[in-house]
Amino acid sequence: MKPPKSYESLLAVILLILGGVFTLLGLAAEVLPLPMRGGEPRGFALWGLPLLLFGAGLLWYARRRERLWARLRTEGRAVQGKLVPEATRRHWYTSWGSGGLRKRNPWTVMCIYRWEERTYCVRSQFLWRKPGGFEQRPTVYLDPLDPRRAWIDPETLAYEV
């Protein structure tokens, strides 16, 4: 499974897994006689279905956003951006997979760019490697009709080894 590109896709995966487990427990409790203390077994399904629905909605939103990024890469205008060193973040509380004996944590960077004499900023998707120096000028793809819609191309960033 590929690592997620945003918080929304990570949360969608977690909610879908939880919703699936709760729903299956609720359905299994209807068929099999599971002893329950103080409640009905169908309560699991009543919690699982909303989790599934909310997770599916978040997954739809995350995929829509990723399609927007793909469209910006193919149809957007490319401009040079400048990294904001103070806004580089490592998300310690988010981890995915493992790189040897330790979990991997994503990074995000913020980039400022100019379009038609105005300055805008955009935050990157999750970067699963540590970005290199802060004097970089990555490529930012933007929608000329709405320049606030932009995407930093992670392939134009330099990463530490």
pLDDT tens per residue, the chain (161 residues)? 778 888 899 899 999 999 999 988 888 877 777 676 766 767 788 889 999 999 999 999 999 999 999 999 999 999 999 998 888 888 887 777 665 555 678 889 999 999 999 999 999 999 988 888 778 899 999 999 999 999 999 999 988 87
Phi, psi of 15 (to 5 degrees): -65, -40
Residue 80 included in any domain: yes
Would you tell me how many other CB atoms lie within 10 Å of the CB of residue 12? 22
Residues 87 and 147 in one domain: yes
Per-residue tokens: 150 = 């932009």
Find, among 91, 138, 146, 80, the residue nearest to 114 by Cα. 80
Check residue 2 and report its DSSP letter: P
Phi, psi of 116 (to 5 degrees): 50, 50
Instruction: List alpha helices for 2-159, DSSP H.
Output: 7-31, 42-75
Residue that the structure tokens 């149809």 belong to: 75
Residues 36 and 82 in one domain: no
Residue 161 included in any domain: no
Residues 59 and 117 in one domain: no
Residues 28 and 46 in one domain: yes
Distance from C-alpha of 30 to C-alpha of 88, rounded to nearest angstrom = 50
Residues 102 and 149 in one domain: yes
Residues 68 and 84 in one domain: no
Contact between 85 and 68 under an 8 Å Cβ cutoff? The reply is no
Phi, psi of 14 (to 5 degrees): -65, -45
Q: Report the domain count for the chain.
A: 2
> Which one of 73, 91, 117 terminates a domain?
73
Residues 33 and 87 in one domain: no
> Which one of 51, 73, 95 terminates a domain?
73
